[in-house]
Amino acid sequence: MLRVSQKILNERRLETLVENQTSYTMNNAALHVFETHEQAEQVLLKFEQPVLASMIEGKKVMHLRDFESFDFLPGESLLLPAHEQMCIDFPEAMSKNPTRCLAMAISEDKIKRVMQFMNEQMPKDGKGEWELMNYNFHFINDPGIFQILKRLLFLFSENHPSKDFFVDNMLRELIIRILQTNECRIYSNETLSLTNESRLAGVIRYIRENLSSSLQVDDLSRMACMSPSHFYRKFKSELGISPVEFINNERIKLAVGLLQDTKRSIKDVYLDCGFESRSYFNRVFKNRQKIAPGAYKANILNAAFRR
């Protein structure tokens, strides 16, 4: 789990209870740490450069142009283009448990230089050139991206004469890893662009609204008026993952948010997320978050104890 260092917390100025901002600017990027200390709705935010947002603590509900609203939870990141208008709700923020998020604006020139480097040094083996990254890309941080974000949080706030050089190298690795990331995808632009008329759109809404219930592919295929085999092929073709993978992704997203509540037991969490057994929940959670739910819960409790 990402954490904001005590140094950053000491340097902040709480000028507002909603999206209070602590910023650090370097040659090719600017890092902003946002804190929200009270519940709020429809807070607007926009950046002049492409931005990588990553949740640290708490929960946001994101509303992006032309896309369905979705929960944004710790362990997840979101890549947005320059000038993209975000509309954000903070349903759980409070003074004792603020919502925290980092947003890193990266210069487009830096991104283009990294893509040029990749095309020269890391070609795609006849699959075309690396192109501008897929914006509106929402994904679970893999261990490599997690460690880079953790390091960048330290570097931006460090007083070191060479930190511009250090940050620049970490940015290059971060961009490369994001461009190469596909396996942990929750959904991308294609996933979210399903129209309301699509039979899959209704199924996706049903899944998200009924995660605690039993969700069987046969039942979902009947809801979409398709045979199970056709439904599976259509779902994977349009979303890039199978129905079961999508359901598990959504359940783990929910679990990550529920585990933030120190009063909830792990049994309560996995049952509320629709998992029938602790062992299966452990396996799916660890596969996606790279940490067991018990260890994740312990980190939350330790962080709460230190406050």
Domain ranges, ordered by start, for the chain: 6-187, 194-306
Specify whether domain 6-187 bears CATH 1.10.10.60. no
What pLDDT does residue 66 have? 64
Indicate yes or no: pTM above 0.75. Answer: no
**pLDDT, average across residues 166-173:** 94
Handedness of CA 124, 128, 132, 136 (dihedral sign): negative
Q: Per-residue pLDDT for 151 more than 80?
A: yes
Residue 28 CA: distances (Å) to CA of 167, 189, 240: 9, 26, 32
The more confidently predicted of residues 33 and 66 is 33
CA 233 – CA 84 distance, rounded (Å): 33
**pLDDT, average across residues 26-35:** 94
What pLDDT does residue 135 have? 66
Q: Could you tell me the pLDDT band of residue 106, with boundaries at 50, 70 and 90?
A: very high
CA 74 – CA 258 distance, rounded (Å): 11
What pLDDT does residue 189 have? 38
The topology under which CATH files domain 194-306 is Arc Repressor Mutant, subunit A (1.10.10)
CA 77 – CA 220 distance, rounded (Å): 28
SS3 content of the chain, % helix, strand, coil (to 5): 45, 20, 35
Which segment of 60-64, 219-223, 252-256 scores lowest on mean pLDDT?
A: 252-256
Contact 98, 35 (CB under 8 A): yes
